[in-house]
Structure 1
Amino acid sequence: MIDASSAVLAAASSGPSVLSQLFGSGLIGVREGLETGIVVMILVAFLVKSDRRDSLKWVWTGVAIAVVMVLAVFAGIHYGTSTISGLAAEAVAGVASLVAVVIVTLMVLWMRGAAAHISGDLKAGMGRALELGAPAVLALSFLAVGREGLETALLMVGYAENTSGSSWPLVGLLIGVVIAVAITIGLYFGTVRINLQKFFTYTGAFLVVVAAGILAYGIRAIQTVGWLPGLNTRAFDFSSVYDQSSWYGTLLGGIFNFRPDPTLLQVIGWVIYLAVVMTLFFRPRRPQSSSPSPAETSKVETPAA
């Protein structure tokens, strides 16, 4: 087992670049891990309150299979592409980044609209699955967790592509997931209370900004390959006064993929993406008489509650 104190000391001695990777990926791990944990908690709480504890083993089996699948997808893409070099590596990194941006954007926007009724949907789905039998319960938990996990895996692939094979983003992700598990357990037993609506709103906005940086990185990678023009057309360049190896340079570069000499196409893509997605993310939701109030959507019903 890795000594946590040794890992922290190693991170600190390696400079702000490592710390920025740990912070960015750790926050992603907390956000995505808590989202996944709440899904599992709803399913478990429904079975406990329905006196169907005999089906819990199928839920945990589905969760375990989903976790293994997500780890395999991440390892296959991230470490599989680390053996590629030159323009081929740029092409793979660019395509992977753009795919990650698309998937993460769709999932963030979907979660924004589905948060108000996701608990009811999961409970209704579990009710139908119980009628069909154990395979249906396993499949429901697998799909529910696998969907969230694939989002995390793709986001991390895009996020970590510019770290030259560094494992620190993965370490940060694992730390974030551990924190999310602890928070989820606290929510389940009623020892932790947080406003989930605000939490997912703030972290969702953060993910959109991270995705914008991944998009800019992907655009430049594809420009390097020659699939997009304008590699030598700079929007601005203040490299002479901006030290990328400084604490602020490594922090902004590690979390948001910022660089002082972006191409014009990178800046255009970054601005348009943020303008469109942030507008969609923060647009007022249409009031629905059947939807719970914002205070209610921030709570999750558990046996302890």
Structure 2
Amino acid sequence: MTANFLIGLREGLEATLVVVLLLAYLAKTDRRHLIARIWAGVAAAVAVSTGFGALLTFGPKGLTFEAQEAIGGTLSILAVGLVTWMVFWMARTARTLGSDLKSRVDKSAGGTGWGLAVVAAIAVGREGLETALFLWAAAKATGESTQPLVGALLGLIAAAGFGYLLHRGVLKVNLSRFFTWTGAALVIIAGGVLSYEIHDLQEAGVLPGLHSLAFDISGAVPPSSWYGTLLKGPLNFSPATTWLEASAWLLYVLPVLFLYLRTNHNAPHSPDPSGRKAATAVAAA
């Protein structure tokens, strides 16, 4: 639940901040009559993301076990790739997100303003589809349960609450630091998902080495114990890990985490280093 709460919180806050910026800019430029277009785009993005999540959940049910494992493993690896792209994209473009959105609003606000619905749908829908895919992969890795969904929903609710407080100018957060450290946590979570899905592909016979274990500490860390469950939830740690799983985790997490933190460290600084504090400033205006 903890890992999925973090996913829902971070992805939800990204989408919420986009909406906050769009609404605040329309209000600031005296175009409040177009706000309904923004909400129409958000509703469309939510509907598409929900439908995509339902398709992932119920689509493979009629397939054989091997086919389900192969499809699930492949989609989950794709989810890891998307999350990796997302955290690096945020690190590179967060500083200019506000100005980019304002430019899109100015271009789309002419005529009936339905272009704004498209801008909102694309901006929020991108986050929604990534979130649906990664939440599905994370839930699959931790087992079939309602807890991952509950955790994600709580994260999304918290993100919506933060967004509202930012919009009202009540809350001020160091968003640069928040996104840096949650991005690092997501890289570690993604590494666990990748490792688990490598195991899925081994079980499906797509990859070799299912019985070639790098270590087996099931006696010291029983999967049914509270600490085994704690490690399994956020990190997808398996007490019995194959060489291929361990290698995939190390080859993904170590270089990606190093490059991600270096990207954030090398980002040029400005009076608004995160590019996200603009959300609070614009909303307050």
> Normalised by the size of structure 1, how large is the TM-score?
0.88
* Aligned partner (choices 227, 237, 240) of residue 216 of structure 2: 237
> What is residue 182 of structure 1 aligned with on the other side?
161
> What is residue 203 of structure 2 aligned with on the other side?
224
Change (3 A) 1:286 1:104: closer
After superposition, where does 1:24-39 map in structure 2 within 5 Å? 24-39=3-18
> Matched residues in 1 for 2:101 and 2:283: separation?
16
Q: Identify which range, 129-138 or 78-87, moves more after superposition.
A: 78-87
CA RMSD in angstroms, aligned pairs only: 1.7
Change (3 A) 1:117 1:296: closer
> Matched residues in 2 for 1:60 and 1:140: separation?
11
After superposition, where does 1:1-305 map in structure 2 within 5 Å? 22-82=1-61, 84=63, 86-131=65-110, 133-283=112-262, 284-287=265-268, 292-294=271-273, 297-300=276-279, 301-305=281-285
> Matched residues in 1 for 2:169 and 2:14: separation?
17
> Matched residues in 2 for 1:303 and 1:162: separation?
39
> Matched residues in 1 for 2:145 and 2:59: separation?
14
**What is the aligned length?**
282
Change (3 A) 1:296 1:269: closer
Report if the CA contact (8 A) 1:125-1:140 is conserved.
yes
Fraction of identical pairs, as percent: 41
> Matched residues in 1 for 2:268 and 2:61: separation?
48
| Cα deviations by residue, 1:37-74 (Å, 9 ceiling, x for unpaired) | 00000000010001001111110000000000001101
> What is residue 18 of structure 1 aligned with on the other side?
none
SS of alignment partner, residue 117 of structure 1 = helix
Report if the CA contact (8 A) 2:215-2:242 is conserved.
yes
> Matched residues in 1 for 2:54 and 2:276: separation?
35
Report if the CA contact (8 A) 1:82-1:165 is conserved.
no
Deviation at 1:123, TM superposition (A): 0.8
Q: Which amino acid aligns with 2:133?
A: L
Deviation at 1:296, TM superposition (A): 5.9
Report if the CA contact (8 A) 2:142-2:236 is conserved.
no
| Cα deviations by residue, 1:177-213 (Å, 9 ceiling, x for unpaired) | 1111111100111111111001111111111111000
- Structure 2 gaps of 5+ residues are none
| Cα deviations by residue, 1:150-177 (Å, 9 ceiling, x for unpaired) | 1111110110113443122111111111
- Structure 1 gaps of 5+ residues are 1-21
